[in-house]
């Protein structure tokens, strides 16, 4: 029996330029290709979960402008429930300016706009209106006070809460015990724990993951890009590999990972199975340009072997 998923977070319009290299400070790089795509960590994760088969309600705030209206239209096309995507009459929709180099690495600047005005009472209203939901996924592109209020309300309702702590910022210790899982990457792990982790150093991964468990967390999933992810809980730790891949654009890989993770959990898969599924989905996404445009279909993920090389198409 699939569980209903709540995704709470940001919605942006991504303006992407792909060029041979990312500019250094004061440098202009000529010859890029321009793309404009729907994005934002919350929206990307909601779209990923919906396209992979989940029943998703998205809670966000957009501007009362063309970008916001296009975003809502896109969510509805993906069969995402949008009754709690609020339109802000005073602030514009969020925008991200993204540079992508020939290796697929990216550099991003975000103007949050309406995302910065999603208030705790609006999110609590949404949570109380969807009592049948069992899974809650959120990130840190909305105000921290709203994130904290969301986690507290979600815990009161007995939700399994997954926090993707991105973009990284310090978090209050008291929220950790309310989380079912946290999904930082290597950079976010260092900011939160003060510890440097590396995919080839399992001891560093265990030490950092144990820091989270000491705060009261149940499950830690440290994402490692092309190396996969490290899953750690009271049963121990394991490194879960990702399929070999030729990356074109890594912009939304973490978002696809998180959206896929909650889909698998909503289908009552084990954590190992869920992380494996998420690694496959993220690996496919980096072979394509764009954020939401890169999300794979369920059929693509289900048919992929961990040993299957993936090349851009």
The CATH number given to whatever domain includes residue 131 is 3.40.1190.20
Residue 77 lies inside a defined structural domain of this protein: yes
Collapsing DSSP states into helix, strand and coil, what is residue 51?
Answer: helix
Q: Are 149 and 123 in contact (CB under 8 A)?
A: yes
Q: Are 222 and 261 in contact (CB under 8 A)?
A: no
Enter the DSSP assignment of 103.
T
pTM over 0.95: no
Tokens 């919906």 locate to: 50
Residues flagged as binding site for K(+): 249, 251, 285, 288, 290, 294
Q: List pLDDT tens digits, range 34-78.
A: 988 898 999 999 999 999 999 999 999 999 999 999 999 999 999
Check residue 313 and give its pLDDT: 44
Check residue 98 and give its pLDDT: 87
- Provide, rounded to the nearest whole percent, the portion of the chain with pLDDT above 70: 96
Check residue 245 and give its pLDDT: 81
Check residue 106 and give its pLDDT: 84
Give the chain's mean pLDDT: 92
Residue 106 lies inside a defined structural domain of this protein: no
Q: Are 96 and 108 in contact (CB under 8 A)?
A: yes
Residue 107 lies inside a defined structural domain of this protein: no
Burial 125-155 (b: 16+ CB within 10 A, else e): ebbeebeebbbbbbbbbbbeebbbbbbbbbb
Mean pLDDT of 220-247: 93
Whole-Å CA distances, 71 to 46, 130, 159? 12, 22, 27
Show the tokens assigned to 5.
């998923």
Q: pLDDT at residue 126 above 60? A: yes
Angle at 247 between CA 52 and CA 48, to 5 degrees: 15
Residues flagged as binding site for substrate: 12-14, 40-44, 141, 255
Q: Are 19 and 29 in contact (CB under 8 A)?
A: yes
- Asked about 201 being catalytic, the answer comes back as no
Our count of domains for the chain comes to 1
Mean pLDDT of 74-91: 97
Check residue 59 and give its pLDDT: 98
Structural Rg of the chain based on CA atoms = 18
Check residue 307 and give its pLDDT: 54
Whole-Å CA distances, 289 to 28, 102, 252? 22, 12, 9
Which residue is catalytic, options 55, 65, 255, 302? 255
- Which residues form the domain of 52? 5-10+40-91+115-302
Q: List pLDDT tens digits, range 240-294.
A: 999 888 777 777 899 999 999 999 999 999 999 999 999 999 998 888 877 787 7
- State the DSSP H helix or E strand holding residue 187, giving kind and residue range, or none if neither: helix 186-193
pLDDT, greater one: 146 or 304: 146
Residue 164 lies inside a defined structural domain of this protein: yes
Residue 46 lies inside a defined structural domain of this protein: yes
Neighbours of 295 (CB within 10 A): 27
Residue 184 lies inside a defined structural domain of this protein: yes
Residues flagged as binding site for ATP: 185, 223-228, 254-255
Residues flagged as binding site: 12-14, 40-44, 141, 185, 223-228, 249, 251, 254-255, 285, 288, 290, 294
Which own/partner pairs from 200-205 qualify as long-range (CB within 8 Å, at least 24 positions apart)?
Answer: 200/227, 202/230, 202/237, 202/239, 205/230, 205/232, 205/237, 205/239
Residue 102 lies inside a defined structural domain of this protein: no
d(CA 278, CA 284): 10
- Provide, rounded to the nearest whole percent, the portion of the chain with pLDDT above 90: 78
Residue 32 lies inside a defined structural domain of this protein: no
Mean pLDDT of 80-89: 97
């Amino acid at each position: 029996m699939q569980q209903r998923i709540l995704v709470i977070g940001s919605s942006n319009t991504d303006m992407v330029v792909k060029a041979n290299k990312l500019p250094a400070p004061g440098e202009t790089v000529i010859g890029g290709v321009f793309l404009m795509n729907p994005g934002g960590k919350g929206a990307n994760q909601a779209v990923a979960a919906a396209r992979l088969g989940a029943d998703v309600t998205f809670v966000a705030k957009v501007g009362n402008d063309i970008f916001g209206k296009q975003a809502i239209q896109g969510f509805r096309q993906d069969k995402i429930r949008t009754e709690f995507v609020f339109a802000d009459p005073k602030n514009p929709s969020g925008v991200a300016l993204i540079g992508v180099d020939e290796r697929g690495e990216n550099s991003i600047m975000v103007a949050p706009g309406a995302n910065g005005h999603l208030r705790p009472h609006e999110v609590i209203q949404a949570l109380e209106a969807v009592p049948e939901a069992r899974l809650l996924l959120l990130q840190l592109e909305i105000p921290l006070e709203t994130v904290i209020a969301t986690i507290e309300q979600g815990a009161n309702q007995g939700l399994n809460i997954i926090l993707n702590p991105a973009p990284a910022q310090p978090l209050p210790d008291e929220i950790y015990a309310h989380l079912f899982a946290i999904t930082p990457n290597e950079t976010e792990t260092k900011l939160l724990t003060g510890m440097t982790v590396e995919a080839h150093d399992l001891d560093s991964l265990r030490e950092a993951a144990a820091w989270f468990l000491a705060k009261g967390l149940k499950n830690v999933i440290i994402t490692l890009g092309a190396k996969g992810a490290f899953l750690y809980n009271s049963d121990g730790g394991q490194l879960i590999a990702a399929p070999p891949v030729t990356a074109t654009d890594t912009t939304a890989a973490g978002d696809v990972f998180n959206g896929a993770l909650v889909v698998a959990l909503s289908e009552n898969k084990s954590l190992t199975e869920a992380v494996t599924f998420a690694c496959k989905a993220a690996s496919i996404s980096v072979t394509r340009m764009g954020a939401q445009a890169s999300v794979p279909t369920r059929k693509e993920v289900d048919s992929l072997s961990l040993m299957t090389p993936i090349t851009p198409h």
